[in-house]
Structure 1
Amino acid sequence: MNLKDKAKLLPQSPGIYIMRDSLNNIIYVGKSKNLRKRVYSYFIKSNNVTSKVEKLMKNIKDFQYICTDTELEALLLECTFIKYIKPQYNRLMKNYERYVYIQIDIEDQYPIIKLSSEIIEDNSLYYGPFINYNRIFKFLEGLNEILPLIKCNNYLKEKITCINYAMGKCEGPCIKNVSSKEYKKHINKVINFFHGEKDLIKELEKFMKEYSETLEFEKAKIFKDYIDVFNSVFKEYKHILRLNNYNKFIIIDYIKNSIFKVIFINNHNIEYVDTINMNNMDKKDLEEYFKNIYFKFYLINNKESKNIVTKEFIDYVHIIFSY
């Protein structure tokens, strides 16, 4: 049986499909609400096929599938496969090595805001992980435009000021021209941004308005771009904060008729999955059912957690909160 005919026999249910090459290596993992429709589409000639799909199709020698009850389960299963197998043709999630954290060593006399690829067991504050490296680089660039932050790595070794001081973009901590207390006020503005305050965005808007009023539209456009970046970073980090604040929750996902999937998530992990039929349960039964889940997982299984979302779980986080 050829692969096109095999695809016609797939169930019309949610799940993931696993593409293999001639050496039986997994080269692609995908998910779909309808496995038959999605996998069959690969074997239909089309003028809209991308070069990536063309290369993939030339290398597919077989495929398998795993059915799930709901689309959410398919999304999470796909994410898990891609994270650990890293198939050749999956590009959405396999490059999480590029994800970055913003690191602030608050115990330093004059903290530097920098990027880090890992969370280290130190006394620094870490924000992230952020998906788009270039966006975060642009975010730091915007910070340096509106705050007189340290921009060089040798500020404690040097006893003379650099060009940033001459341009008014640094207050000269290298020559003790600013106290640690005063300098940390700038750092606190960044920390407050990641805790929900938008004063930095208002500062950018002020600069954009000033340049617009003086007809310096190119400079105004630069600050408009910074505003867009800051808003994107703010929104992205809210996803992380939500998971940190609510690390235990239940998802009730509709399957069909009166059948629902119950998923309990604790500290970014699925700890309990069940299927219930509402037709077989009255109000009292439902109350007792969820009371038992609460007692078992919220109270007895109340593990302490640092609530730090790692870069390996960031796609998982976005799936949960965008579902």
Structure 2
Amino acid sequence: MSLSQKIKEIPHTPGVYLMKDSAGQVIYVGKSKQLRKRVQSYFRSSSTHTSKVRKLVKHIRDVEIMETDTEFEAFMLEWQLIQKIRPQYNRQMKTPEAFLYLTVRKIGKLYRIRMSTQPLRGDDGWSFGPYTNKKTVSRAIRGLKDVYRLQCSNPAINGSPCLNYSLGLCRGICLGGKAVGEYNEIVEQLASLLNGEDSSLLEDMQGQMTELAEELAFERAAQYRNYIQSLQSLLQKEEVMDFTEGNHVMVVAEQLQEEKVKLFLIRRTDVLFSEVFEVGSSESEDMLAKIKSQVWSWLNGVVSEAGAQVQQVSRYEIDKAQIIYSYLRSGKCRYAMISSNELDGLERMLERLIE
């Protein structure tokens, strides 16, 4: 069967597609909630394609499809296959060594904000991350320094004004005095923001952006908007990691059709169990009993130890953690957290999720 004919027969379902070259090697893995539409898009007009996509298409000789019941499963399967196969044309989620941390540590009288491939050890400052987008981290740091004039080119604090001070980019940190305290206070506010303790820094930047827009300084307001979006992205990542570090066990249900439901049991970043069943059918009670039995066996083994120890999210987990966190908040599913003292209510919980 020709490649074009095979593409025409791809179903309109969620799933993962594997692009292969003439040697049968998988060179790209992707996912979509509508497989045929997504795969066909590669072979249409290339005017809007990036150079990477155009180069990829030249080498595609075959496509393999793996269907899933839900888009969530397609995301998870894509992640697993990329980790296993490491295709040539995949860049995201391929090299966890490229993940970054934003670190804050006091050196002398000043806090220093850095990007690092490793978190700080012990209590020597703060570490946030890992983050997967270097551009986002860099823009967030640059934005903080730009908005609050923290770009001192002579942080030795020797009483001599630096070049950036004369340009209006430094608030006088190099001169010492109250500017040093102001600088440190702003950096502490950044740490409080990313720790989820205080959002005043973000609110202040949003207020300044609004004032710039009212003054018709639209270009400068757009810069502030980009800075704010970068900070919000980092903040969301921290929320994902805080949620994941809770070692939650949860039951998740997604409606597939009018009477069909997909049920998942998820612990932390692992899907321990999943199955589709038909609600209201003659076999639904037996199916539900089977699911309860399987879920119960899993829970007996995992709930008791789920909260035993807080474990930081590793760089190998971060993408899975983001997928699960986004899914739970997407509105596409219903979920309930399980703890050891709720095992007796498992039956009621399952019935509530699928009713």
**TM-aligned CA deviation for residue 201 of structure 1:** 3.2
Residues 186-195 or 233-242, more deviating = 233-242
Kindly provide the amino acid, as one letter, of the partner of residue 317 in structure 1: A
Kindly provide the amino acid, as one letter, of the partner of residue 14 in structure 1: P
Q: Distance in 2 between matches of 1:242 and 1:45?
A: 37
8 Å CA contact retained: 2:16, 2:78:
yes
**TM-aligned CA deviation for residue 165 of structure 1:** 6.0
**Identity, % of aligned positions:** 25
Cα deviation digits, residues 161-206 of structure 1 (max 9, x gap) = 4515666524348x6x469877643332111222153322343355
Instruction: Tell me which residue corresponds to 2:79.
Output: 79
8 Å CA contact retained: 2:17, 2:64:
yes
Q: Distance in 2 between matches of 1:149 and 1:31?
A: 42
1:119 equivalent in alignment to 2:123: no
- 1:316 pairs, out of 317, 320, 323, with 320
Instruction: Tell me which residue corresponds to 2:255.
Output: 254
1:1-323, aligned counterparts within 5 Å?
Answer: 1-10=1-10, 13-36=13-36, 38-39=38-39, 41=40, 46=45, 50=49, 52-94=52-94, 99-105=99-105, 110-123=110-123, 124-147=125-148, 149=150, 151=152, 155=155, 159=158, 161=160, 163=162, 164=164, 169-172=171-174, 177=177, 184-194=184-194, 195=196, 197-205=198-206, 207-208=208-209, 217-218=216-217, 221-245=219-243, 246-248=246-248, 249-256=250-257, 258-278=259-279, 279=281, 280-281=284-285, 285=289, 293-302=298-307, 304-308=309-313, 310=315, 312-323=316-327
Specify every segment of 5 or more residues in structure 2 that has no aligned partner in the other structure, as ranges.
328-355
Normalised by the length of structure 2, the TM-score is 0.69
**TM-aligned CA deviation for residue 252 of structure 1:** 1.9
Kindly provide the amino acid, as one letter, of the partner of residue 299 in structure 1: S
Kindly provide the amino acid, as one letter, of the partner of residue 261 in structure 1: K
Q: Distance in 1 between matches of 2:44 and 2:145?
A: 51
For the residue of structure 1 that corresponds to 2:22, the secondary structure is coil
Kindly report the root-mean-square deviation, in angstroms, between the aligned alpha carbons of the 2 structures.
4.0
8 Å CA contact retained: 2:212, 2:221:
no
Normalised by the length of structure 1, the TM-score is 0.75
For the residue of structure 2 that corresponds to 1:82, the secondary structure is helix
**TM-aligned CA deviation for residue 29 of structure 1:** 1.0
**TM-aligned CA deviation for residue 145 of structure 1:** 3.7
Equivalent residue pairs, number: 314
**TM-aligned CA deviation for residue 315 of structure 1:** 3.4
**TM-aligned CA deviation for residue 103 of structure 1:** 0.7
8 Å CA contact retained: 2:28, 2:90:
yes
**TM-aligned CA deviation for residue 54 of structure 1:** 3.9
Specify every segment of 5 or more residues in structure 1 that has no aligned partner in the other structure, as ranges.
none
Residues 241-250 or 42-51, more deviating = 42-51
Q: Distance in 2 between matches of 1:56 and 1:207?
A: 44
